[in-house]
């Protein structure tokens, strides 16, 4: 029997019930079993009622953990501890719905490739109020990416990680990043340094409805900046950080020039500005500038 511990964090989101129902509907290969762990990051266990109601009659055991620090790294680490001796850990978010073959496709990809971690896409679902420039560039979907042709990190919105007996069992999410974001990027970078091999499975899909509050340039710009800060963790040591910062400065300058050239096109102008903000974030990360807090509030 192979056990996959599915871990997700929740903070004042009733949508977690839909996430759980999508997990209960998973079409699993023979011999594969799930255990589901929900880490509640609110001061009071506000998600307990929704989780327990959704879990009534569930085909797999569901555990609600109260990790009351308003720090998502604390909640993610509580999920790792609760995974115990599971063979694999799967990650997704509390506002996502997994396709019925999600787990099966992640496991299948790991089996075919020999990978220790597999990352899939989180596909954004937009409402009718979404601006055209957001739809055209699909800024809210999260697609796993390569770096110089290799996969060196990933995200917890859609991931599978080998767990039992691995060299990275002691790795944990950094609490210092638990309110600013980027804790998953840093975590998987550390796992990669422990020797884990990564792969991408574009067919292992989860979907996420985008709330109206996120349909703004300001929200996306903040996300790009934080992503750049998080990626800076890939550079180890002062020489590597200096090289990365220098490269990012050059790219930010090129993006600024491209934004000027494409001023007549709103879609292209915004694209280059956001790309430049990403690279500015990389520079800020290399300089260890303070990251703003985005977790621990009721804002989406």
Contact 198, 192 (CB under 8 A): yes
Looking at residue 231, its pLDDT comes to: 83
Q: For the chain, how are helix, strand and coil distributed in percent, rounded to 5? A: 40, 20, 40
The DSSP 8-state label assigned to residue 149 in this structure reads: T
| pTM, to two decimals | 0.88
Segment-wise mean pLDDT, segments of 10 residues, the chain, 300 residues: 96 93 96 97 92 93 92 95 96 97 98 98 96 96 90 95 96 88 90 97 97 94 89 85 94 96 95 96 86 49
Tokens representing 228 are 């750049």
CA 186, CA 165: separation in Å to the nearest integer?
Answer: 21
12 to 157, 170, 193: CA distances (angstroms): 17, 29, 34
Q: Which CATH number fits domain 2-215: 2.40.50.140, 3.10.520.10, 3.90.550.10, 3.40.309.10?
A: 3.90.550.10
pLDDT tens sequence across 82-103 = 999 999 999 999 999 999 999 9
CA 202, CA 167: separation in Å to the nearest integer?
Answer: 27
pLDDT tens sequence across 124-142 = 999 999 999 999 999 999 9
Domain boundaries of the chain, sorted by first residue: 2-215, 220-286
| Burial profile 189-212: b = 16 or more Cβ within 10 angstroms, e = fewer | bbbbeeebebbbbeebbbbbebee
CA 47, CA 66: separation in Å to the nearest integer?
Answer: 9
Q: 3-state class of 280 per DSSP?
A: helix
Contact 242, 286 (CB under 8 A): yes
Find the DSSP H helices in 144-216: 183-193
CA 9, CA 78: separation in Å to the nearest integer?
Answer: 9
């Amino acid at each position: 029997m192979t056990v996959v511990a599915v871990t997700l964090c929740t903070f004042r989101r009733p949508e977690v019930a839909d996430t759980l129902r999508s997990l209960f509907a998973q079409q699993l290969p023979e011999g594969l079993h799930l255990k589901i762990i929900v880490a509640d990051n609110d001061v009071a266990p506000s998600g307990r009622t929704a989780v327990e109601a959704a879990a009534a009659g569930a085909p797999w055991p569901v555990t609600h953990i109260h990790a009351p620090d308003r720090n998502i790294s604390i909640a993610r680490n509580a999920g790792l501890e609760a995974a115990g001796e599971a063979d694999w850990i799967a990650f997704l978010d509390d506002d996502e719905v997994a396709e019925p073959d999600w787990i099966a496709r992640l496991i299948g990809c790991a089996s075919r490739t020999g990978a220790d971690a597999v990352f899939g896409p989180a596909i954004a679902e937009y409402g009718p109020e979404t601006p055209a420039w957001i739809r055209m560039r699909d800024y809210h979907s999260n697609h796993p990416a390569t770096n110089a042709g290799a996969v060196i990190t990933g995200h917890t919105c859609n991931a599978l990680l080998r767990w039992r007996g691995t060299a990275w069992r002691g790795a944990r999410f950094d609490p210092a990043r638990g309110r600013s974001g980027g804790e998953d990027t840093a975590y998987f970078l550390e796992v990669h340094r422990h020797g884990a091999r990564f792969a991408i499975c574009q067919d292992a899909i989860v979907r996420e409805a985008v709330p109206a509050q996120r349909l703004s340039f300001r929200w996306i710009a903040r996300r790009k900046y934080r992503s750049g800060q998080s990626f800076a963790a890939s550079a180890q040591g002062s020489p590597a950080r200096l090289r990365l910062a220098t490269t990012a400065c050059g790219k930010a300058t090129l993006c600024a020039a491209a934004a000027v050239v494409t001023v007549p096109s709103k879609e292209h102008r915004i694209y280059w500005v956001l790309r430049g903000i990403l690279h500015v974030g990389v520079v800020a990360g290399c300089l260890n500038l303070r990251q703003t807090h985005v977790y621990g509030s009721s804002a989406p």
